[in-house]
């Protein structure tokens, strides 16, 4: 249940020496993910344009998942991810998907239901060793032949974090997610 605009928390474990966030395995599905990793949108590669692309992606993913009939009435909807130290687990972070964030805070992520299933989207503007479900690059044109070199510069881009979803949503969720990404104007690209 959502109380005070917050969905139930999820826990992330942050190992002291690792650079990658680890989700508890019980929260992730064992289903295969067939969503392509690399997408591109023709736009100027700036943080401001990446934020615009993120909002367009968020809205199209919400629409596509709703049309797939996976969620209850009123869902999915925008939310803002807040992290807090978990008082019960040292080194862990509790994630809250806040439906009504503080004034001036954009809800950049998606809450799928009252049980707290969600997907985080964010803008990244540097090289990172984290693993993401998908990355959407802003490129000057398509096809963009120099993507492999371009990626090494760490351009501003939108990243989709692995979602926390119900096991019963497979495989329909992955098809709806890809439809939503492509409806936002992103095209699958070969990143080799």
pLDDT digits (tens, 9 = 90+) for 2-54: 444 555 555 443 332 222 333 333 344 445 567 899 999 999 999 999 999 99
- Rounded to the nearest integer, the mean pLDDT of the chain is 84
* 73-92 average pLDDT score: 93
Task: Please give the DSSP secondary-structure letter assigned to residue 125.
Answer: -
Stretch 103-121: mean pLDDT = 93
Query: What gap in Å lies between CA 20 and CA 42, rounded to an integer?
Result: 29
By CB neighbour count within 10 A (0-12 exposed, 13-18 middle, 19+ buried), where does 188 fall? middle
The Cα angle at residue 161 between residues 158 and 165, in degrees rounded to 5: 135
Residue 100 confidence (pLDDT): 82
* Model pLDDT, residue 45: 95
Domain ranges of the chain: 10-25+34-188
Q: Which of 65-69, 74-78, 152-156 has the weakest average pLDDT? A: 152-156
pTM given for the model: 0.82
Contact criterion met (CB below 8 Å) for 124 and 134: no
Measured CA distances, 4 to 9, 77, 97, 98, 99 (Å): 13, 15, 11, 9, 9
pLDDT of residue 2: 47
pLDDT of residue 104: 80
* Angle (CA) 78 130 34, round 5°: 70
Percent of the chain scored above 90 by pLDDT?
62
pLDDT at position 179, please?
97
**Which residues of the chain form beta strands (DSSP E)?**
10-13, 38-42, 77-85, 92-98, 109-111, 118-119, 121-124, 134-139, 157-160, 187-188
pLDDT of residue 5: 53
The three-point CA angle 76-106-177 to 5° equals: 35
Helix H or strand E segment including 175:
helix 172-183
- Say what the pLDDT of residue 71 is: 95
| pLDDT given at position 15 | 34
């Amino acid at each position: 249940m959502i109380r005070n605009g917050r969905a139930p928390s999820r826990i992330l474990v942050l190992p002291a020496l690792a650079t990658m966030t680890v989700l508890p395995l019980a929260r992730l599905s064992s289903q295969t993910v067939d969503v392509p990793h690399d997408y591109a949108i023709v736009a100027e590669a700036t943080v401001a344009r990446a934020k615009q692309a993120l909002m367009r992606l968020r809205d199209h993913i919400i629409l596509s998942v709703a049309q797939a009939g996976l969620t209850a009435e009123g869902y999915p909807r925008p939310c803002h991810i807040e992290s807090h130290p978990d008082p019960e687990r040292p080194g862990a972070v509790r994630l809250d998907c806040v439906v009504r964030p503080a004034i001036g805070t954009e809800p950049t992520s998606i809450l799928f239901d009252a049980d707290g299933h969600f997907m985080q989207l964010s803008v990244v503007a540097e090289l990172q060793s984290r693993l993401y479900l998908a990355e959407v690059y802003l490129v000057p044109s398509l096809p963009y032949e120099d993507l492999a070199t371009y990626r090494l510069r760490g351009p501003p881009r939108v990243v989709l974090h692995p979602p926390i979803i119900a096991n019963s949503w497979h495989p329909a969720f992955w098809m709806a997610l890809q439809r939503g990404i492509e409806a936002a104007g992103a095209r699958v690209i070969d990143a080799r």
